[in-house]
Structure 1
């Protein structure tokens, strides 16, 4: 069936751009924004150094923001300019003397508070660096944060806390309005992902800057924990705007479950943990409304819904009850039960772009899939548009990493 956009999850501020396609419904889920995880490798906060400073080893240490600086964004980090040692302790306190928690960046270049600072507050910070011989150097600063910004960039994170996702689940962040190229590097530096067990990954932006995806060269390993913090609350995002708030979630990756659809055979092959467990006939989009070929993921599941295309197709539109619907694109392509096309499935394409399957097969799939399971369609007359759904896997790794606003490590190129 062909339908118009319905958001997979209700974002705190924004919703995706509507596109015409297989049907329409007005139900919207609720997204969850969770507590802030750490931003990188741990560093002690609040501990005092036990060693005396020594002039025998020339440690050079300066910190930012500069002492006395005002109107500092609440996203402020304690930055270091250091030679002759490494930072071993960072202590930060608010105007009431309460300690502020935070962590060191993995590269040791700065200390990141675990949550945005408060507006119009004075903060003090003390940084201790230690040389190889045990001698230390201490530097301190105090600064005052800015007031509430007049313009904000809305943000959203398509990830629920304590949920289990498929192996192709990308980390998807949205920005409204989109972030311009000149401002993306600073924003990307504040988007943290930790995988357990450790797996490489890179951020990549869509051309208009409204979305950024995080994925690795391969699908996630089953059992992986994804810990995400989008630490853009109060961060300058360009054009006098500041990020609306931090977003965070911790989720897990489940078993491998892949669906591969071939227009030539008009069959879907289902693999679990790399082994074929089922094949089933399908009917794809007819000539005038072809299904998209590409690598997609399941974005939403609804056991029962209504496809309504009357607002886009007028007199040619329809209202149809649908069961076991699984969204693949924003433009409205789904896998769903289609009892009216059972006779065509495996033989010819009659849908409005969706993957039609028999009711029993639709239920079988619905009972086993997870949000984030990959779906590959090949051999149709239409190429999947990048950004029409969660599409980072539709680009080869060499192309995907070109969308990063920061240099990609040599070992990932």
Structure 2
């Protein structure tokens, strides 16, 4: 259930080749291609199979074998289709794919050369023509063409979401988070994972990992991202069969930046938060964590959302006796279950001394304001020493497990080179 970095290399082409739900505090419960590439996993390319039967031209006796899928005349092809390639005696040097109007479709080769991936979802009920040229070391060529027609719009779809947005800057612990509704079953995750691509600049290793329900997948490396990293993500599942007769609703993509390093470390033993910016301790903040009946979770969390002002209302959840409704300032969400860092003027006397919250990290108004002005979504906060352990999937918990454990979540085989990283 983890997904590996995959790579796409540009080929010389003849013709351009979900909002965060607000719940109340205290419920405990150089460029790296991660684009497509079946090479690392050994998995076959996604898409229909069958050799193309189009015309072949050879310059002399060329010892090149080349076949292309979808086959000539293939109908009802998913709009997520790739051009499957099998070649020996040479390398694919040119790929051209055009729609029914003769307009070129951009795309890239998988690094292992097993397929050419269109740069966007194909149109429904459209006939496409492809021409692929392979070239031998001596410069001789072989060309294969094919023509196929895509399927109509599917009746049942899998909803998707990407918690990453263009031109935004995130903290160093920001995992790439993809959401699926309904969740993807284990048998279908490998095909989906093969279509989830991440490029990092500068180059850094990374892997996909699924939650047990299949509703989310995270992408991260063995360490937090380097400050200044660019993440370019494409979740190319539009029209992709996702199991149970469903197809992905659409492609999603984003290019975002990773900002400076900013880490918050909370120790229940001292009731203090140590704030480290770019490797230097810049502030120590007294805190009050969850009381015995509603303990804060220990684990590595990330800031998921920031609200300068909001309302916590637990009356429906906890009942009129235990529930409460209160205005909150400078709230930063850490878990889906409702744990936040936030301003708590009512507990200032307890901060640094004892735990009185309903599970949140209480800080003074001044410290809450300062933290709010400094943090980014994706900044890490580590809480240790409480009686409750953070549940995997309760928030963006990709960093709350070891690298070895994280790799177990991949739906594709993980290369040995990645397994050995620390």
What is the match of residue 324 of structure 2?
Answer: 318
> What does the per-residue CA deviation read over 1:20-67, in whole Å, with 9 as the maximum and x for residues that have no partner?
8538xxxxxxxxxxxxx99569xxxxxxxxxx8334331100001111
Query: Partners of 2:276 and 2:35 in 1: how far apart?
Result: 36
1:207 aligns with 2:212: yes
Query: Partners of 1:408 and 1:322 in 2: how far apart?
Result: 44
| Contact 2:158 2:248 (C-alpha < 8 Å) held by counterparts | yes
1:276 aligns with 2:281: yes
1:245 aligns with 2:213: no
What is the match of residue 348 of structure 1?
Answer: 354
1:297 aligns with 2:302: yes
Query: Partners of 1:243 and 1:115 in 2: how far apart?
Result: 13
Q: Kindly state the Cα deviation for residue 106 of structure 1 after the two structures are TM-superposed.
A: 2.2
Unaligned 5+ segments in structure 1 are: 1-8, 24-36, 42-51
Query: Partners of 2:24 and 2:83 in 1: how far apart?
Result: 47
- Secondary structure in 2 aligned to 1:22? coil
> What does the per-residue CA deviation read over 1:278-301, in whole Å, with 9 as the maximum and x for residues that have no partner?
101100000000000000000000
What is the match of residue 380 of structure 1?
Answer: 386
Equivalent residues in 2 for 1:61-140 (5 A)? 61-140=66-145
Q: Kindly state the Cα deviation for residue 314 of structure 1 after the two structures are TM-superposed.
A: 1.5
| Contact 1:196 1:226 (C-alpha < 8 Å) held by counterparts | yes
4+ long deviations beyond 4 Å: 18-21, 37-41
Q: Kindly state the Cα deviation for residue 107 of structure 1 after the two structures are TM-superposed.
A: 2.1
Specify which of 189, 205, 209 is matched with residue 184 of structure 1. 189
| Contact 1:38 1:102 (C-alpha < 8 Å) held by counterparts | no
Query: Partners of 2:303 and 2:149 in 1: how far apart?
Result: 46
What is the match of residue 26 of structure 2?
Answer: 22
- Secondary structure in 1 aligned to 2:374? coil
Specify which of 256, 259, 284 is matched with residue 254 of structure 1. 259
Label 1:38 to 1:381 Cα distance change in 2 as closer, same or farther (>3 A).
closer
Q: TM-score, normalised by structure 1?
A: 0.89
- Secondary structure in 2 aligned to 1:187? helix
Specify which of 129, 139, 146 is matched with residue 151 of structure 2. 146
Q: Kindly state the Cα deviation for residue 157 of structure 1 after the two structures are TM-superposed.
A: 0.1
What is the match of residue 45 of structure 1?
Answer: none
Query: Partners of 1:167 and 1:108 in 2: how far apart?
Result: 33
RMSD between superposed Cα atoms in Å? 1.7
1:232 aligns with 2:237: yes
Query: Partners of 1:127 and 1:38 in 2: how far apart?
Result: 24
Query: Partners of 2:389 and 2:34 in 1: how far apart?
Result: 39
What is the match of residue 392 of structure 1?
Answer: 398
What is the match of residue 330 of structure 1?
Answer: 336
| Contact 1:39 1:104 (C-alpha < 8 Å) held by counterparts | no
Query: Partners of 1:20 and 1:185 in 2: how far apart?
Result: 36
Q: Kindly state the Cα deviation for residue 328 of structure 1 after the two structures are TM-superposed.
A: 0.2
| Contact 2:36 2:195 (C-alpha < 8 Å) held by counterparts | no
| Contact 1:38 1:114 (C-alpha < 8 Å) held by counterparts | no
Query: Partners of 1:232 and 1:321 in 2: how far apart?
Result: 41
| Contact 1:268 1:279 (C-alpha < 8 Å) held by counterparts | yes
| Contact 1:187 1:232 (C-alpha < 8 Å) held by counterparts | yes
Query: Partners of 1:305 and 1:238 in 2: how far apart?
Result: 39
| Contact 2:96 2:130 (C-alpha < 8 Å) held by counterparts | yes
- Secondary structure in 2 aligned to 1:193? strand
Query: Partners of 2:82 and 2:182 in 1: how far apart?
Result: 25
How many residues are aligned here? Answer: 377
Label 1:38 to 1:276 Cα distance change in 2 as closer, same or farther (>3 A).
closer
| Contact 2:25 2:359 (C-alpha < 8 Å) held by counterparts | yes
Q: Kindly state the Cα deviation for residue 19 of structure 1 after the two structures are TM-superposed.
A: 7.8
Unaligned 5+ segments in structure 2 are: 1-17, 28-32, 38-56
